[in-house]
Amino acid sequence: MNASFSIIALIGKHKNPEIGIPLLKLAEYLTAKNYTVLLDHLTASQIGSDKYPALTLEDIGAQADLAVVIGGDGTMLNIARMLVSYDVPLIGINQGRLGFLTDLSVDTMFKSLDEILTEKYITERRMLLYAEIIRNGVSVFGSLAFNDVVLYRGMSSGMIEFEVRVNSEYVNTLRSDGLIVTTPTGSTAYALSSGGPILHPGLDLIALVPVCPHTLSNRPIVIGPESVVEIQIQSCANVRINCDSHSCFDLELTDNIIVRRFPKTVRLLHSDNHSYYRMLREKLGWSEFP
- Planar angle of CA 25, 28, 34, nearest 5 degrees: 145
Burial class from Cβ neighbours inside 10 Å (0-12, 13-18, 19+) for residue 199 reads buried
- Active site (catalytic) residues: 73
8 Å CB contact between 264 and 85: yes
Instruction: From 241, 125, 233, 119, select the one nearest 180 (Cα to Cα).
Output: 241
| Nearby residues of 256 by Cβ (< 8 Å), 6 or more positions away | 133, 134, 135, 230, 231, 232
